[in-house]
Chains A and B, each alone.
Chain A
Amino acid sequence: GQNIDQPTEMTATEGAIVQINCTYQTSGFNGLFWYQQHAGEAPTFLSYNVLDGLEEKGRFSSFLSRSKGYSYLLLKELQMKDSASYLCAVADSNYQLIWGAGTKLIIKP
């Protein structure tokens, strides 16, 4: 079956760094997405990885290893506004997104 796993909840301190992991097993692979979702709002796109390696966008970076079925989202210099849920999603062979349940990130002062 198809499965996306990510931690349910993480806590980090303002100004610190946090890494949110995502492992996947899907029928086919056409890229992995990370989305940020604040409570009550629709998800917003953060990153897309289809090749192995690290993609950096400002304070956020995303890493992919296709052979390991593994990705992580790295958030640096954490700010209180980064408190949100982070969704990992994989596009399968039909380009349909398979979603993880999301990781709730709590930032403490």
Chain B
Amino acid sequence: GAVVSQHPSRVICKSGTSVKIECRSLDFQATTMFWYRQFPKKSLMLMATSNEGSKATYEQGVEKDKFLINHASLTLSTLTVTSAHPEDSSFYICSARDLGQGDSDTQYFGPGTRLTVL
């Protein structure tokens, strides 16, 4: 089946530093990847849609200058949390759409990255 990886799985950083999270589709090409954030006991919150070769589309309320997204290739998207603050601590999950699955248009999720900002 389609596999999506994320790296790192956990990261702890100091306030004010930047953190980069990678999302890779390992066995399929993904023209579109999604970045989610999940708060405890709440559903996933879509942050942005990342399209290969173009600028990401951010959801309302998500600061594009703080959460930098780069979709450099058909298998890699990165999310950089710039000048991280403790309130950015969360579980960040990416997903990739496998268009090769015909009409199913299924999203496959990465395992998530737990960010803790001290």
Contacts and interface: CB of A to CB of B under 8 A. Distances in A.
Interface in B91-109: 91, 93, 97, 103-109
Given A50-B103, A96-B49, A45 B42 contact: no
Contacts of A43: 44, 93, 109
A30 B105 contact: yes
A101 B43 CA distance: 5
Given A41-B111, A41-B112, A42-B112, A95 B105 contact: yes
Nearest to B97: A95
Give chain A's interface secondary structure class: loop
Interface in B76-118: 91, 93, 97, 103-112
A33 B107 contact: yes
Interface residues of B, number: 19
Nearest to B4: A42
Interface in B19-53: 34, 42-44, 46, 49
A: interface residue count bin: 20 to 34
Interface of A: 30-31, 33, 35, 40-45, 48, 50, 87, 91, 95-97, 99-102
Given A42-B93, A48-B104, 10 more contacts: A31-B105, A33-B107, A40-B91, A42-B91, A43-B93, A44-B109, A45-B107, A45-B109, A87-B44, A99-B46
